[in-house]
Amino acid sequence: MTRNVAIVGGGQANWGERDATWKDLAQEGGKATFDAVPGVDPDDIEGLFVGAVQPERFANQTHVAPMVAELLGIEVDEMIARTELACASGQAALRYAWLAIAAGQLDVAMVLGVEKMNLGREHMPEVQSSMANVLDREFDGANGLAAPPFFAWYAQRHMHEFGTTREQLSLVAAKNKTNASRTDFAQFQSTVDPDEVTDSPEIAPPLHLYDCSGITDGAAGAILMSEAKAREVTDTAAWITGSGQSTMAGNSINNLPSFSGWPQARKASQNAYDQAGIDDPLAEIDVAEVHDCFSISEIIEYEELGFAERGEGGQFIEDGRSHLDGDVAVNPRGGLLGCGHPLGATGVSQALEITQQFQGDVTNDRQVDDATTGLIHNLSGSGSVHSVMVLDRDPQ
């Protein structure tokens, strides 16, 4: 018999181009997490899960989970692990903590996602080279298929097949960057209109600078608890009611099933919806944090997550249906385009946003009215793996 599991709260370090080390970010994120959950301190943590993608490359450090325990004063006596699943590493950490608590192995777990990516302007070629590691390094990465040209390829194909427009891409980026201007930890703090997106420098046609998420330093942490423990701490939590993952390829682009969609995202979300008892995601999901590493990503995700029909994602944003007052509020914190994308921290931050939306603990100008059901989504690698988690204000 499995148990109900809740995210009761958490906190974040400031995101951006930081003059801070990997250890600094871990400590800032850890302290913010404990500060945000009164009554929980390091002595209460039984399990620790650290989402981190490339500390070996960015910080010359491996075996980081025990190091985080040491930095935060946590004596883990039940379960400790680092998770690595490229851009979904944070959600993977959440998933493993959830499963451990649901199985009765733990009652209280901490999840911390950390990434230090900015190494100074002189090291930018090294950073870009490291990012190619999430592809098949020997073939795709070595031949220059970094993230911008890869997602430009998807944008070109989606435009060709469905008539998606440059203006619709700009609407996504403008929405998310404007939402981020209301988020205190976000990397980018300025409102942006669609024309500014279109007029920003071209990076990989049709993608422009503002269509691309940033290279970001940051950390985010969350506390997960069994139902009995959670009810001692808070009256409002985010209960994990469903989770799904799917892949239809390895890392090589040669094996991807499509260049205009992600059927693996559709499969992962359907698995999560089935567990959570969701029949109509557009009608039942109030708020969603999706993986908008590039503006085209969010448009495709509208379709694959069941918010829009195949090929109609561009019209979905054009009609304002993903705005804060739309059919489903997508990326109210600003997404990756606005907040930045510290790889291992992103999934954790997404889950915190849903939790804080339920708790009414975000600024009024990005609060989603009466949000009771939420979703987080991450893609990773060459878009070959998709991870989805459904959260609810009430346990099933």
Predicted pLDDT at 76: 96
Distances (CA, A) of 47 to 77, 99, 106, 354: 7, 12, 7, 22
SS3 per-residue string spanning 127-193: HHHHHHHHCCHHHHHCCCCCHHHHHHHHHHHHHHHHCCCHHHHHHHHHHHHHHHCCCCCCCCCCCCC
What pLDDT is attached to residue 28? 98
Say if residues 111 and 222 touch (Cβ distance below 8 Å).
Answer: yes
Choosing from 158, 208, 291, 341, the catalytic residue is 341
- Contact yes or no for 361/341 (Cβ under 8 A): no
Question: Which residues are CB-neighbours of 146 under 8 A, at least 6 positions away?
Answer: 128, 131, 132
pTM: 0.97
**What is the average pLDDT score of the chain?**
95
Residue 138 pLDDT more than 90? no
| Known active-site residue 87 | yes
- Please report, rounded to a whole number, the percentage of residues in the chain having pLDDT higher than 90: 89
Mean per-residue pLDDT, 202-209: 98
Cis preceding linkage at 332, omega within 30 = no
pLDDT of 46 reads: 98
Question: In sequence order, which residues have a C-beta less than 8 Å from that of residue 329 and are 6 or more positions away?
Answer: 286, 287, 288, 322, 323, 368, 371
Q: Output the pLDDT for position 246.
A: 97
Of the pLDDT bands very low, low, confident and very high (cuts 50, 70, 90), residue 1 is low
How large is the angle between the packed helices 295-304 and 147-162, nearest 10 degrees? 50
Please give, one letter per residue, the 3-state secondary structure of 189-239.
CCCCCHHHHHHCCEEECCEEHHHECCCCEEEEEEEEEEHHHHHHHCCCCEE
Residue 395 has pLDDT above 60, yes or no: yes
144: left (phi over 0), alpha (psi -120 to 50) or beta: left
In this prediction, residue 179 carries a pLDDT of 97
Model pLDDT for residues 326-358, shown as the tens digit of each residue:
999 999 999 999 999 999 999 999 999 999 999
With 90 as the cut, is the pLDDT of residue 38 above it?
Answer: yes
Residue 127: what pLDDT? Answer: 74
Whether 132 shows a pLDDT value over 80: the answer reads no
pLDDT in tens, 81-118: 999 999 999 999 999 999 999 999 999 999 999 999 99
Element at 241 (helix H, strand E): strand 238-247
Which whole number is the average pLDDT over 18-40? 97
176-188, pLDDT tens digit by residue?
999 999 999 999 9
Summarised one tens digit per residue, pLDDT across range 215-245 is 999 999 999 999 999 999 999 999 999 999 9
The token pair at 193 is 């209109």
**212 assigned to active site:** no
Calpha distance 144→159 (Å, rounded) = 23
- Give the active site residue among 87, 212, 293, 339: 87
Q: What structural domains does the chain harbor?
A: 5-120+215-233 (3.40.47.10)
Q: Which residues lie below 8 Å from residue 59, measured CB to CB, with a gap of 6+?
A: 21, 22, 116
d(C-alpha 157, C-alpha 258), whole Å: 10
| Three-state DSSP state, 105 | coil
Is residue 67's pLDDT more than 70? Answer: yes
pLDDT at 141: 75
Residue-wise pLDDT tens digits, 261-305: 999 999 999 999 999 999 999 999 999 999 999 999 999 999 999
